[in-house]
Structure 1
Amino acid sequence: MKRKKAGLLPFVMLGIIAVLCLLAPLLPLPNPEAMNITKRFALPTLQEPFGMDEFGRSVMSRLIWGTRISLVIAVTSALAAAAIGTAFGVLAGYLRGLTETLVMRSVDVLLCLPTLLMAMLFVTLYGPGTATVIPVLAVVYAPTFTRVAYACVLSVRSMEYVEATETLGASRLRIMVRTILPNISGPMLVQLSLAAASAVVLESGLSFLGLGVVPPSPSLGGMIGAARSTMAHSVGLLVWPCIVLSIVTLTMYGTCDVLRDWLDPRGGRATEVLR
């Protein structure tokens, strides 16, 4: 119980970040894309505590909206990767045979490729933008879900409750969906949170390279990339998005660790091995 109470901090911080991003359209924030050249590199004020950027845009507004876009991309791509990867992992682990060979060898090939380079390749081929980044990240993270689901299915497919369901004459689809899938939901939920946290970093890296969110739409990685040429005028344009990105990433990874400890009765050791 003490461990669970101590683990509430990442959830509280993540909840605050999520609520702030969800309420961004309702907050009295300036348009993050509206430019005012007369206020270029304006110093922080009570109305604009982070100042203005090189085009006279509100840094605070762009930070909030950039975090919102990053979280939407990360969560959506992680959910899509979880659905695709878990389905293939359960099929490979339960059906075995040719299905296992085809699925797992394909996954091994994809896992051999560097994540960032594979994402850059797909984005370069199909063009930058949110509509491209989400499916690309889903494809990049799906193999990891497949490996985790496959390992979990192998550990539960010989359990008594699975054999009892088979003896009762249940179909393979019913066994996989109604019997096996609920019993591997714990590790898959941890992997989902881990993939979402990693997707925030990867999306920021793509935006930093100009392959993610297309300007003038705000993104944390894009703000960091744009601040390289303006550091001499305002170092805060580089510092603030770096701090926000670090807080969001550390909060999400902290949530992953807490979920791992809560959902694993052995203190997270089994899930740590899978990671």
Structure 2
Amino acid sequence: MTHINALDPGASPLDYYGFELRRHREAAGLTQRQLGDILNYTGSLVGQIETARKVPTPEFSERADAALGTDGMFSRLVELVLRSRLPAWFQQVAELEMRATEIGSFQTHMVLGLLQSPAYARAVLGALDQSDLEDRTAVRLARQRVFEKGEPPVFWAVLSEAALHLEIGGPGVMREQLAHLLSFENNPRINIQVLPLSAGAHAGLTGSFDLYHFAGDPTIVYTESYGSGHPTANPDTVKNCSLRYDHLRAAALSLKDSARLIRRAREERYGDAVA
């Protein structure tokens, strides 16, 4: 077990967060249990975060800032903590998501991470590996805070209809996930189109990919394979994938028809009517 006195605050953002949490708690004259009671968490969880054994969430950080009067310090720091806990090969992608002015994504078989509900994300991440599942789920969901920025990116997602039928996590999880997709129906910055199975052969048969557009910087194409990511600004690749994406959007259903299909899949496949 890590001992707090042995924590090196410069070792990682998580260690620094834990070091600062204990320092501010002790300065306030609170025990771990007392702080936990104030935050509506257990004292054990406070201790685990202080000893860098548990990853803090944005909600925990907001409450800690309010309780300890730290002027948003923990809320700012948690962004670094969560990003640092992403797989090393994916950290660059998280940076692209934060910097992009527009993101285009094509997914062949499941809902992409930026649009996943908590239970769906947990089921995806736990399909093969159950270790540290809650922490890994929190880290994935934290990426969605990109949509809470003062100027969030415009996001376009082309989602294969197959993703609506691949039952990840069971019917209840899928009902929740499809409802989550429908919650963006009137958000002009988050646009979801479904590529129907009836489209047949299409421009995305090679696989999923993302396009990141920036103000003043070249567009980047991102693809991934098992355990590795492949971002590139190669002009030929960008041109090819941009053309493919235009064709995918043209072949996909309209935004309204996509929402109707998602709603129908939720009602008919997962047994829960939606108004």
Structure 1-normalised TM-score? 0.26
Instruction: Select the structure with the greater relative contact order (CA < 8 A; seq sep ≥ 6).
Output: 1
| Larger Rg belongs to | 1
Which structure has the highest helix share of the two? Answer: 1
